[in-house]
Chains A and B, each alone.
Chain A
Amino acid sequence: MRVASRGLIDRGAPVSFRFDGREHGGFSGDTLASALLAAGVRVMGRSFKYHRPRGVMTAGPEEPNALVTVGRGAAQVPNVRATVQEIHAGLEAFAQNCWPSLGFDLMALNDLFAPFIGAGFYYKTFMWPRAFWERLYEPAIRRAAGLGRLSGLHNQDHYEKAWAFCDVLVVGSGPAGLVAALTAARAGARVILAEEDSRFGGRLLAEDAAVDGLGGPQWVARAIDELKSLGNVRLMARTTVTGAYDGGTFGALERVGQHLAGPPADLPRECFWRIVARRTVLASGAHERQIAFPMNDRPGIMTAGAVRAYLHRWGVAAGRSVSVFCNNDDAHRTARDLAAAGVAVAALVDVRADAAPSGDFPVFAGARVIGTRGRRGLREITVASHRGTERIATDCLAVSGGWNPALHLSCHMNGRPVWREDIAAFVPGPDSVPGLTACGAAAGIFSTAGAFADGERAALAALDALGIGAVPAALPEAEDQPTRIHPYWQVTGVPGRAWLDPANDVTVKDVRLAAQENLASVEHMKRYTTQGMAPDQGKNSSVAALAVLAEATGRGIAETGTTTFRPPYTPVSIAALGAGGQGAGFAPQRLLTSHQASLERGAPMVEAGLWYRPSYFPRPGETTWRAACDREVGMVREKVGVCDVSTLGKIDLQGPDAARFLDFVYTNTLATLKPGRVRYGLMLREDGMVFDDGTTACLAPGHYLMTTTTAAAGPVMRHLEFVHQAHCAGWNVRMVSVTEHWAQFAVAGPLAVALLDSILERPIDDAALPFLGYVPVRAMGVAARLFRISFSGERGYEIAVPARFGAALFRDLVARAENLGGGAYGMEALNVLRIEKGFLTHAEIHGRVTAFDIGMQAMISRQKDCIGKAASQRPGLSGQQREQLVGLRLTGGSFGAGAHLYNAGDDPVAANAQGYVTSVCHSPTLKSHLGLGFVKNGRARHGERLRLADPLRATDVQVELTHPVFFDPEGARARG
C-alpha cells in the first residue's frame, strides 16, 4: 500500500513488470520487493524445507525469504533477492521452491511432518540400506528442498571482470561512509566509494532524520555532488564489496545491466572488480535481527528498520495495521513514523518493563508476543503481559531484537569479532584486516551523529597512515540517541515453532537439539542444523542462534563465539567470477604463422599447450585420420614433408660464459661445440629427474641458440633464469627467448635437399652443412637460418625465417613439396615418425624418469658438474629395479598409451605390474603397432613377450619387448 507524499520513488515514471506470470505496476526507484509490497503481494517465496509461505522480511541485501528467479531460459538467474532487484519494464520474475504454484504448494505437506523432520532427521533416518543414500534418498530430498534452479543451459550473457586502485576504499555510503569519503577526498586522496544499493545514502534514505537542517536524502545529494565535483573520487553504486583478501585487495560485484529495461547488447550483466586499496574504511552499516517467538515466520513479520525503510524510501506501508515487537528504543521510531504517516499502529510491544515510548498507539511494556495466526499472511498476534493474554488484529509485525554490525569483511582474514555487552552486539576486532578500519554502525555506533564523527575519525586515521595531511571539518548535525537495548533472543515457555533462520527453516528447537546431542560448538551446531548456510549466510540468524545455543549450553555469548564469516559477503555468480573465460576465452590461443594455410588445407587443429597445431592434412578420398597420417609418414620416408615446428622454444644465449653456463644446465658437454654445429642436450631438474631435451646450435663464438620442447619452453626459460640468478649470478651470460621471432619449418625426406635447393640462393653443400650442422642462408631474398637436424630419422633440415615471412614460406614450401610428391605433415605423422625412431617427447620424459631410465646415463658427463647430477646418483635412481625405456611391438592388433605390462601368465593386477606404455602408433613403415614404454629391467629383456592389459579399452594382448629404436637403428638415413 502506497503512502502519499512519502518515498524517493519517481511517481511520474510508472513501471510495469511481471511476477509469477502476473502483471504488476510500480515506479522507477522501486525494488521488486517494494513494488510487490505496495501491490499487496505478501507471499513472495516458499521456505527451504517446510515449504511454508514466506514474505519479505528485510529491505536490503540480507533478505532471507524473498528470493526469486529472474529471466527465462539460458538467461535465468536463480536466488535473486527481491530487495535488491530493481524493477524495470519487461522484468519477469518467478517464485521458487513451489509446485504447482506459489499460492498452492503441494510440498507444503512437509510442514505437517515438521515435528519429525528436525535437525539431523536425514542423517538418522536414511541410514539403511547404505547404497540407497546416493541413488534414492539424496536425489529425492534434494528435489524436495532447495531454492532456485539453474537452467542447465550455457549462459550466453556477457559478464566482465575489472581492476580498480585507490588510496582509500570506503565500503558503504551511509552517514559514516559519506563523511569518511568526504574527509578523504577533500584531503586529496584517491577514493573509491562502493555502495551496494542503487542509491548512495544508506540509512539516511530509510529514516526520517534531519541532517544539518536538511532531510536525509537532500543532505546525501549535496554530499554526492561535492564528491563528484572533487574529481578524485570514483562513485560505485550497485557495487557490493564481497571479500577482503591479501595485500589490500577486495572483491566487489557490480550490478551493471540487471536493472535496465533494454540494456545495450555489449553491456555486461555484472562486473566483478578487484579493488586494490592502500587503506579501507568499513562503513557497511548493520543488519537488524529478529526475536525468536512462536510462529514468527509468517508473511508480514519483518524487521522494524525494514518497515521504516519501505515507508521512507519507497512510500510503502508494509501493512494496514502495524504492530511493533522489540527490546530496544530504536524500534519505537517505527511506530512513531508510521503513526506520523497516517498508518494505523495496532500495538507496540516492548519486552522491557521500563520502556516508555510515547505515541498515539497502545503500548505493552514488559510484554511478549507469544503466538501469531494467518497462513498466507499475518492476521493476528497474541501478546502476553502483566495484564494477561490479548489477541490483537494486525497484518504486519515489525520486530527488532537489536542490530548486528555488518562486520563480515573484517572476518575474511581470520579476524574474530568481539562481543560488546553494552550494545548487545559483536563488533569488529581491532586490526582484523590489515589497513581496514570499521566505523559507524559497522563498529557498533548506531546514532547518526555518532556515525558522522566515527566516519571522520576512520578517514583521518587512514589519511594519517598514508601520510596525507587533513584537517577535521565541522560535522553535520544530526540525532544522537544513545543505544538502549536489553538483550532478548527468544520467547520461552510457550508452545510453537520459533524460527531463527527462516531461509533454511532452522528453529530454536533445532539448535537446542544440537546442544542436547553434544554438537555444542557453534561450528558443529551450524553444520548439524544448517543454520546460516542458506543464501543469506546467517546474516539474519547467526547471532540469535548462537545466543540460543549459549543459553542451551549455559555458556556466555562471548564464550560461544561466532561461526567463521568467509567471502563472499553476498552471493557472487560464478559467471562473474569466471568472466571472460567462457568457451575459447578459457585460455589464450597461440597461432602459428602457418595457421591459416593449414586451415585452408582442411587440417583439424590439436592443442599443444596453448598452441594450435595441425593434426593432419586430409586429401580427397581420405576418410579417416589414419589414412592421411599413413600417407604423410610415407611421404616423409620416401619423398619430402614439411612441418611447422615454430612452437619449439628458442632461447638465445650470449656472453663469454655462455658455454660454461650450458655445461652447467646440460648433462653433457656443450662447451666444445664449434660455431656451425648443433648438439643434442639433456637437462635435469635439481632432483636429478629428466627435465627437458633439445638441440643447441653454436651460431658464433659465445653465441648459442637452445631449443626446448614446446611444452617446456616457458619452464626451461624460468629454470635458466633461476640457475643464473641463484647459482652463478656473476657469470657473464645473457639469455632471452626468441621463440616468437622465428617461424621454423622442418623439411624432411629423401627429397629435402632438392626442395630446399629450389628456394636457397646457394645449393646445400653437405661438407658445409653436415648432419647436426648450422649455416646462415638466404632463402628467396630473406636472411634465414638452416639447421640440419631430424626428428623423423630422415635426412632433415629446419629452416627458420623471421615470423613475418612465415605464412608465405610455409605455403611456398608445401607447394614445392607437393610438386615433388610430398606435402605438409601434421602432428599425427610427426608422432609416428618419431616413435618409429624411438625419439622421446614429454610422454616419456614425464617428470618421473631419470637419464638411466631412458638409457641416456652415459650423457651425464663425468668430467664436469651439472644441475641435477648429484641427485641423479642417489641410490634407487638407477639399476635393475628401475623401469627402463623399451620398445613394444604387436603385429595384428593395437593397444593404447596408459596400458600396463605384466609377465606372461601373471594376473593383470597392480602388484604384478612390470611397467606401462607411454606412446603408441600404427607404423605404416613397419606394418605393425608400435609403442614406447617403461619396463622393469627392460633393457635386459629385449625379445621377451609380455602381457599387455588395458581394462579401460578392454585390451589384453601379448606384445614383444624390443629396443626402443624400431627403424634404421644406425641412423644412416638421417646422416647419409
Chain B
Amino acid sequence: MASLLELTPCEGLLPVTAGGVTLAELPPALITSIAPFEAKQAAVARVLKSLGLGWPRPGRMIARGDACCLWSGRGQAMLIGAGAAGLEGIAALSDQGDGWARMRIEGAHSEAVLARLVPVDLSPAAFGKADVARTALGHMMLLIARTGGQAFDLMVFRSMARTAVHELTVAMKAVAARDNAT
C-alpha cells in the first residue's frame, strides 16, 4: 500500500531572509503536552529530570541537546524532541507535534522584527535565554522562547502558518528597509 506524503506546516513558505534576519522552519519533532495530575508534580519533575530536563517554572524552558521542556500555561508544559516515557498515569499526555508551526527567527534585528508583532518586552533584560512567553503574534496565539542571544523559537497554530510567515516577512522587510533608508 502506498504511504502518505508528510508535509510540514511551513512547507514551501520558508526559509526567508531579510536584513540579516532569517526565519526558518524547525525540523519536525515529537511534541507532547504534559499536565501533571493532582499531587503528581514532583513525580513528573523527577521523570523529566531523568531525561536531563525538568519541570519548567512559569515562563521558562529547560533544554538539553535537541530536547526541551517548555512551560506553556497553567500546570502545563510542552515536551519537545523527546518521548514522554515514564509519565503515563502521572500526567495527562497529548500528542501535539502536528499542531504547531515551529519557526526560528535569528539575526541582529530579530528583536526589532518581533517588536512589530509581539506585545511583550523581549529585550535581554526582560526576556533572557530560555525565557518563554505565551502571548500574541499579531492576532495569533504565540508560544515564544529565547533560544539564543539573537534567536527566538516561535510556535503558532499549524493552520495559521501562512499568515504568521507573511506577517513576520513583512516586518523583517520593514526593519531591513530602515537600515537602507537615509
Nearest opposing residue in chain B for A589, CB measure: B163
Q: Tell yes or no: B45 within 8 A of A by CB.
A: no
Interface contact A740-B174, CB-CB below 8 Å: no
CA separation between A587 and B176, bound complex, in Å? 25
Surface stretch bound by B, among A106-114, A155-163, A848-856: A155-163
Given contacts A590-B157, A736-B92, contact A805 B4 (CB under 8 A): yes
Interface contact B4-A165, CB-CB below 8 Å: no
Surface stretch bound by B, among A260-268, A456-464, A632-640, A943-951: A260-268
Nearest opposing residue in chain B for A164, CB measure: B115
Nearest opposing residue in chain A for B7, CB measure: A807
CA separation between A479 and B94, bound complex, in Å? 71
A86 smallest CB distance to B (angstroms): 13
Nearest opposing residue in chain B for A651, CB measure: B94
Within B112-133, the residues touching A (CB, 8 Å) are 115-116, 118-121, 123, 125-126
Interface contact A266-B176, CB-CB below 8 Å: yes
Q: Tell yes or no: B3 within 8 A of A by CB.
A: yes
B35, B75, B123, B182: the one within 8 Å of A190 (CB) = B123
Interface contact B174-A804, CB-CB below 8 Å: no
A274, A736, A802, A808: the one within 8 Å of B98 (CB) = A802
Residues of A within 8 A of B118 (CB): 163
Interface contact A587-B139, CB-CB below 8 Å: yes
B98, B139, B162: the one within 8 Å of A803 (CB) = B98
Q: Tell yes or no: A85 within 8 A of B by CB.
A: no
CA separation between A801 and B98, bound complex, in Å? 10
Given contacts A652-B94, A736-B35, A740-B98, contact A260 B182 (CB under 8 A): yes
Residues of B within 8 A of A805 (CB): 4-6
A267, A655, A780: the one within 8 Å of B177 (CB) = A267
Interface contact B163-A165, CB-CB below 8 Å: no
CA separation between A585 and B168, bound complex, in Å? 12
Q: Tell yes or no: B159 within 8 A of A by CB.
A: yes
B24 smallest CB distance to A (angstroms): 18
Q: Tell yes or no: A257 within 8 A of B by CB.
A: yes
A714 smallest CB distance to B (angstroms): 10
Interface contact B159-A590, CB-CB below 8 Å: yes
Residues of A within 8 A of B91 (CB): 734
Interface contact A804-B94, CB-CB below 8 Å: no
CA separation between A738 and B35, bound complex, in Å? 14
Given contacts A165-B121, A805-B6, A812-B4, contact A734 B75 (CB under 8 A): yes
B5, B38, B158: the one within 8 Å of A808 (CB) = B5
Interface contact B116-A592, CB-CB below 8 Å: no
Residues of A within 8 A of B43 (CB): none
Residues of A within 8 A of B98 (CB): 740-743, 802-804
Q: Tell yes or no: A809 within 8 A of B by CB.
A: yes
Residues of B within 8 A of A730 (CB): 38
Residues of B within 8 A of A780 (CB): 1-4
Q: Tell yes or no: A739 within 8 A of B by CB.
A: yes
Residues of B within 8 A of A656 (CB): 37
Interface contact B95-A655, CB-CB below 8 Å: no
Nearest opposing residue in chain B for A276, CB measure: B121
B67 smallest CB distance to A (angstroms): 19
Interface contact B75-A741, CB-CB below 8 Å: no
Q: Tell yes or no: A256 within 8 A of B by CB.
A: yes
Q: Tell yes or no: B33 within 8 A of A by CB.
A: yes
Residues of B within 8 A of A268 (CB): 174, 177
Interface contact B123-A165, CB-CB below 8 Å: yes
Interface contact A588-B3, CB-CB below 8 Å: no
Within B8-36, the residues touching A (CB, 8 Å) are 8-9, 28, 33, 35
Nearest opposing residue in chain A for B172, CB measure: A266
Residues of A within 8 A of B55 (CB): none
Interface flags for A92-109 (1: CB within 8 Å of B; 0: not) read 000000000000000000
CA separation between A263 and B33, bound complex, in Å? 47
Interface contact B174-A160, CB-CB below 8 Å: yes
Interface contact B97-A741, CB-CB below 8 Å: yes
Given contacts A263-B181, A267-B181, contact A165 B99 (CB under 8 A): no
CA separation between A743 and B4, bound complex, in Å? 13
A217 smallest CB distance to B (angstroms): 21
Nearest opposing residue in chain B for A590, CB measure: B159
Residues of B within 8 A of A806 (CB): 7
Q: Tell yes or no: B160 within 8 A of A by CB.
A: yes
Interface contact B177-A782, CB-CB below 8 Å: no
Interface flags for B139-182 (1: CB within 8 Å of A; 0: not) read 11000000000000000011111111001001101101110111
Residues of B within 8 A of A161 (CB): 116
Given contacts A256-B178, A588-B160, contact A655 B7 (CB under 8 A): no
Nearest opposing residue in chain B for A167, CB measure: B125
CA separation between A411 and B56, bound complex, in Å? 44
Q: Tell yes or no: A593 within 8 A of B by CB.
A: yes
CA separation between A878 and B162, bound complex, in Å? 47
Given contacts A801-B4, A804-B8, contact A732 B115 (CB under 8 A): no
Interface contact A580-B97, CB-CB below 8 Å: no
Given contacts A266-B176, A740-B157, A741-B97, contact A808 B123 (CB under 8 A): no
Interface flags for A413-452 (1: CB within 8 Å of B; 0: not) read 0000000000000000000000000000000000000000
B130 smallest CB distance to A (angstroms): 20
Residues of A within 8 A of B6 (CB): 804-805, 808
Q: Tell yes or no: B96 within 8 A of A by CB.
A: yes
Q: Tell yes or no: A530 within 8 A of B by CB.
A: no
CA separation between A805 and B9, bound complex, in Å? 11
Interface centre among A276, A805, A809 (most CB of B within 10 A): A805
Q: Tell yes or no: B71 within 8 A of A by CB.
A: no
CA separation between A973 and B17, bound complex, in Å? 55
Interface centre among A165, A263, A801, A808 (most CB of B within 10 A): A165
B34 smallest CB distance to A (angstroms): 9
Nearest opposing residue in chain B for A587, CB measure: B139
Interface centre among A268, A276, A656 (most CB of B within 10 A): A268
CA separation between A591 and B139, bound complex, in Å? 15
Interface contact B99-A264, CB-CB below 8 Å: no
Interface flags for A803-827 (1: CB within 8 Å of B; 0: not) read 1111111001000000000000000
Given contacts A580-B167, A652-B94, contact A266 B4 (CB under 8 A): no
Q: Tell yes or no: B138 within 8 A of A by CB.
A: yes
Residues of A within 8 A of B76 (CB): 734, 736
Given contacts A163-B118, A734-B37, A740-B159, contact A804 B7 (CB under 8 A): yes
A467 smallest CB distance to B (angstroms): 15
Residues of A within 8 A of B95 (CB): 738, 741, 802
Interface contact B174-A267, CB-CB below 8 Å: yes
CA separation between A740 and B100, bound complex, in Å? 7
Interface contact A808-B7, CB-CB below 8 Å: yes
Given contacts A163-B115, A802-B97, contact A257 B5 (CB under 8 A): no
Residues of A within 8 A of B35 (CB): 654, 734-736
B28, B161, B170, B182: the one within 8 Å of A804 (CB) = B28
Given contacts A652-B94, A738-B96, contact A588 B7 (CB under 8 A): no
Closest 6 CB pairs of A and B: A740-B99, A734-B92, A741-B99, A654-B92, A734-B35, A590-B159
Q: A742-B98, A812-B4 are in contact. List 17 more A-B contacts (CB 8 A).
A: A158-B170, A160-B174, A257-B181, A267-B178, A589-B163, A590-B157, A591-B159, A591-B161, A654-B92, A740-B98, A740-B157, A741-B98, A781-B1, A781-B4, A802-B97, A803-B99, A808-B6
- Residue contacts A-B, CB under 8 angstroms, 27 given: A162-B116, A163-B118, A163-B119, A163-B120, A165-B123, A264-B180, A266-B176, A267-B180, A580-B167, A585-B167, A589-B160, A590-B157, A591-B160, A591-B161, A655-B37, A736-B35, A736-B92, A740-B96, A743-B98, A780-B4, A781-B4, A802-B97, A802-B98, A803-B99, A807-B5, A808-B4, A809-B4
